[in-house]
Amino acid sequence: MNKKYMYSLLAVIVLILLPYVGVEAAGLQVLFGIIIPYLAVLIFIIGFIYRVMDWASSPVPFRIPTTCGQQKSLPWIKQNKIDNPFTTGAVIIRMALEILFFRSLFRNTSIGLNQGPKISYVWEKWLWIVALAFHYSFLTVLIRHLRFFLEPVPVWLQWLEKIDGFFQIGLPGLYMSGAVLLAAVTFLVLRRIYLPQVRYISLAADFLPLFLIISIAITGILMRYFTKVDVVGIKELAMGLASFHPAIPDGIGALFYIHLFLVSILFIYFPFSKLMHMPGVFMSPTRNLPNNTRAKMHINPWNYPVKVHTYDEYEDEFREKMKEAGLPLEKE
Amino acid sequence: MIDSKERASKLSYLPPKTDWMDTPTVYKEGMYCYAAKPSRLEYMDAPYPKDWSCMDEDWQLPENWKEIILEGMKERLEKYRTFKIFMDICVRCGACADKCHFFIGTGDPKNMPVLRAELLRSVYRNNFTKAGKILGRIGGARELTIDVLKEWWYYFFQCTECRRCSVFCPYGIDTAEITIIGRELLNLLGLNIDWIAAPVAFCFRTGNHMGIQPHAFVDMLDFFTDEIENVTGVRMEQTFNKKGADLLFICPSGDVFGDPGTFTCMGYMILMHYLREVHGLDCTWSTYASEGGNFGLFTSHETMKRLNAKMYAEAERLKVKWILGAECGHMWRVINQYMVTMNGPADFLEEPVNPLTGTKFENAKATKMVHITEFLSDLIQHKKLDLDPSRNDRLKVTFHDSCNPARGAGILEEPRHVIKNVCNHFYEMPRNCIREQTFCCGCGSGLNAGEDMELRMTGGMPRGNAVRYVNELHGVNTLACICAIDRAVLPTLMGYWAPEVDVCGISELVANALIIPGEKEKTENLRGEPILRKDVEPDEWYTRPDFPGREE
């Protein structure tokens, strides 16, 4: 067994047991239903803003975009405006493609070493597809949960739910997003465990959010399709939290508190972890700047004078030799 | 050294059984460069010069070395948003892993870009993040020890700062930036390699990496003038340090010093003669700013700035209109992404316009420095050069995009436009090995020494492989490039992986195709090789035993 994912697995098991025992044995509904969720949201918001401000407090001294296409130069040479943007508008398109469609990951290849030797490069699409599936299904699930905090449920949300439940399988109707999320996150875990190189670079901290999300998805799916929890009671709790008049309704099972607690942990964990790649991708200087430094001077706020070897010092040292070689001199 | 086929067959990409933090770094012969000699550092006023070897047990570090490194990290986290963000947001998805030529060539997992960064990130977590402080090893944190420092040195000098991984990273994490900062930290303790530190000191003193003094620089070019006269029958005198010239011309000194770059240098000289005689355009060389390249980039941002300053200083002193820059890789990363920010604004120069064609180089109007292939492409487009591409007919050419012009500027089509106008036989290497996905020569960022040959041949494997592929498929016999380091190192690499292929610069190809007023009937190119006769088919010529380069 690999120690790295065992640590995370154990941590998640403990995190599941805590609210179970807390609610079932100690009656700590207020702690797990009100205090921790509030605390989690607070830590998430403050932590998130703090981290982003912290990044922003470091300047961008040099404009170093990674250019992935032809630069803007001469009229007869066709520029790749997206992968080598010259204007802010083009940068916005580059960033949008990066953030919405994971454009760089789309390029992913995998190498093979064949007889000869001949190296082959094959388009590796699976990580890109699953990453897209994972992030978009997660987003859909998150948005769907707004139903618990809004009364009446807005029309657009009802539309989203209709689309998500398009296939009308089972009762209550299966949401695609939940199933896709669980499948995608499982793929990501298996990839980390079974691909030798990915396993090698993985930290315990890389498994924790995956196990957390799996547990969150499973408890959610259990509640919706199998144990059929008291949805009215849960909505009452959610509305109470959202309107700052929190109250604990009766009859909500421990499963819900486990679900809520794991979500709270994910929120708390977020600002301290690699999950901050979410805001980070917006701020990455190799992607979010135009490649126009040669046309437009970029200012380094901490630029300072340095000691250089001046021409005069150079001529002083080599004057005789320069004279012999017939080179023009400043001072004879 | 083992033969290339055997090397490839022994390669394995399976990581070792022990976790990377528990796998000690073993310095392997041929995989590292020699340590910087104290005199180099002293000349630059760099800290802690010492006589040492990386194989020594004791690295003669100052007592507070840990403090210096951690303080240095703190300072750089505050100065570079790149560094801070790249330390924080990697998710270890692994997309970069098999993009690195050193990983492909060695199979060493610490050459996966993600792990190279983790070497530094683990210390960052331990000392600068709460999660790392609380969770320790579980959170991917580890203490900075002397072994960690030695691991940094080994692996930060096994990265050529080529940025190929950065193309594939979903967050644009740039290992070059991490390596640059990693090396900057090592330099705080005087831990550089001599192959970088020596050129830096030379360049600071004499104006170029090779340490060529002004009179010797003139001698070199005089020698080339004779060579050119032998081939063309025309004497092409050059001007040096000339005040009031139209343009200042700066090339990497590697082209002045070593074959086959010297043929590229002759190409520059022929072009300048042509422009002067035919079009009245006056370009001058400078002995003071006689280096385009900048090994400061491989040392620290400050050193880069100190060396780069000469270009503008000399352009201002000579009162030229703007600067024309020659074929060099990392030189153009510095010019495109750093120069005007570091040493600008260059108000004393004019916004570059080609006086022969009227073309405004809009993309260079702040830096006021134009790439020679941009300039050549413009001249060719406006038919200002009298060219006979059939003079290059014995060449079947492919183009190696150098890392920095490709991923640090995007100069991809200009060189191709030039090549296609001076050569009739041009073939591309496979898509995953060119343009923004181009593979490094394996020797960039100051790793083009002699003692690290093993490293160079492994790192150059993907490039060698791709050249071999077009050599077998199309009979390609010439690898063109726009980088002086490429010209210095690729011949050895080709000898190892694709033995029938010669290396040349683009200006050499241009000069060979150029019809010079007053020239004698050309029978040989600059290398003294016979140019193709009109009555022989290129394919037939190439297979004949008397084809140049076939005799071995």
A vs B, Cβ pairs < 8 A, gives: 320
Contact A110 B98 (CB under 8 A): yes
Domain boundary residue, one of B156, B191, B226: B191
Domain that holds residue B132: 4-30+47-191
Domain boundary residue, one of B191, B213, B232: B191
Domain boundary residue, one of B168, B191, B214: B191
Interval A223-232 mean pLDDT: 88
> Residue A286 is nearest to which of B115, B172, B317, comparing CB atoms?
B172
Contact A104 B241 (CB under 8 A): no
> CA torsion, points B388, B389, B392, B396, in degrees to nearest 10?
-170
Put simply, whether A70 touches B (Cβ < 8 Å) is: yes
At residue A107, the pLDDT reads 95
Distance from CA of A14 to the nearest CA of B (A): 16
In a domain, A188, yes or no: yes
CB-CB neighbors (< 8 A) of A69 in chain B:
410, 412, 435-436
Task: Check which CATH number belongs to the domain holding A133 and give it.
Answer: 1.20.950.20
Mean per-residue pLDDT of chain B:
94
Are the beta carbons of B88 and A280 closer than 8 angstroms? Answer: yes
Mutate to test the interface with A, among B74, B130, B166, B299 (most CBs of A within 10 A): B166
Contact A200 B15 (CB under 8 A): yes
CB-CB neighbors (< 8 A) of B411 in chain A:
71, 73
3-class SS string, B11-79: CCCCCCCCCHHHCCCCCCCCCCCCECCHHHHHHCCCCCCCCCCCCCCCCCCCCCHHHHHHHHHHHHHHH
Cβ neighbours of residue B364 under 8 Å, at least 6 residues apart?
Answer: A294, A295, B322, B352, B370, B374
Contact B173 A286 (CB under 8 A): yes
Contact B177 A287 (CB under 8 A): no
Pick the residue from chain B with its C-alpha nearest to A125.
B95
E strand map for chain A = 109-114, 118-123
In a domain, A330, yes or no: no
The pLDDT tens digits of the residues spanning B253-310 come to 999 988 899 999 999 999 999 999 999 999 999 999 999 999 999 999 999 999 999 9
Residue B541 pLDDT > 80, yes or no? no
In a domain, B172, yes or no: yes
**Nearest CA to B335 among A24, A282, A64, A79?**
A64
Task: Check which CATH number belongs to the domain holding B449 and give it.
Answer: 3.40.50
> Residue A74 is nearest to which of B337, B377, B433, comparing CB atoms?
B377
DSSP string, A56-91: HHS---S--PPP-SPPS--TTS---TTTS--SHHHH
In a domain, B113, yes or no: yes
Q: Which helix (H) or strand (E) holds B285?
A: strand B283-285
* ipTM for the complex shown: 0.94
Count of structural domains, chain B = 2
In a domain, B285, yes or no: no
CA distance B459 to A248: 63
Distance from CA of B421 to the nearest CA of A (A): 14
Paired tokens of B43: 């000349």
Are the beta carbons of B286 and B250 closer than 8 angstroms? Answer: yes
Are the beta carbons of B150 and B25 closer than 8 angstroms? Answer: yes
Residue showing tokens 């805590």:
A18
CB-CB neighbors (< 8 A) of B88 in chain A:
51, 55, 274, 276, 280
Q: How confident is the model at residue B537 (pLDDT cuts 50, 70, 90)?
A: low
Contact A296 B366 (CB under 8 A): yes
Interval A130-152 mean pLDDT: 95
In a domain, B141, yes or no: yes
Interval A204-225 mean pLDDT: 94
The pLDDT tens digits of the residues spanning B52-68 come to 999 999 999 999 999 99
In a domain, B400, yes or no: yes
Are the beta carbons of B464 and B498 closer than 8 angstroms? Answer: yes
The pLDDT tens digits of the residues spanning B112-126 come to 999 999 999 999 999
At residue B359, the pLDDT reads 96
Domain that holds residue A186: 3-324
CA distance B170 to B156: 22
Handedness of CA B207, B210, B213, B215 (dihedral sign): negative
How many CB atoms sit inside 10 A of residue B16's CB?
Answer: 11
Put simply, whether A73 touches B (Cβ < 8 Å) is: yes
At residue A328, the pLDDT reads 95
Distance from CA of B377 to the nearest CA of A (A): 8
Residue A206 pLDDT > 80, yes or no? yes
Put simply, whether A143 touches B (Cβ < 8 Å) is: no
In a domain, B277, yes or no: no
The pLDDT tens digits of the residues spanning A109-125 come to 999 998 878 899 999 99
**Nearest CA to B304 among B174, B123, B486, B180?**
B180
Contact A201 B94 (CB under 8 A): yes
The pairing of beta strand B478-481 with beta strand A109-114: unpaired
First to last CA, chain B: 20
CB-CB neighbors (< 8 A) of A298 in chain B:
340-341
**Nearest CA to A276 among A39, A48, A94?**
A48
In a domain, B361, yes or no: no
CA distance B528 to B383: 28
Residue showing tokens 């709790």:
A237
CB-CB neighbors (< 8 A) of A195 in chain B:
94
Residue B445 pLDDT > 70, yes or no? yes
In a domain, A329, yes or no: no
CA distance B415 to B393: 18
In a domain, A269, yes or no: yes
In a domain, B260, yes or no: no
Burial category of B203 from C-beta neighbours within 10 Å (exposed 0-12, middle 13-18, buried 19 and up): buried
CB-CB neighbors (< 8 A) of A101 in chain B:
none
Residue showing tokens 């594939």:
B168
In a domain, A226, yes or no: yes
Count of structural domains, chain A = 1
Put simply, whether B284 touches A (Cβ < 8 Å) is: no
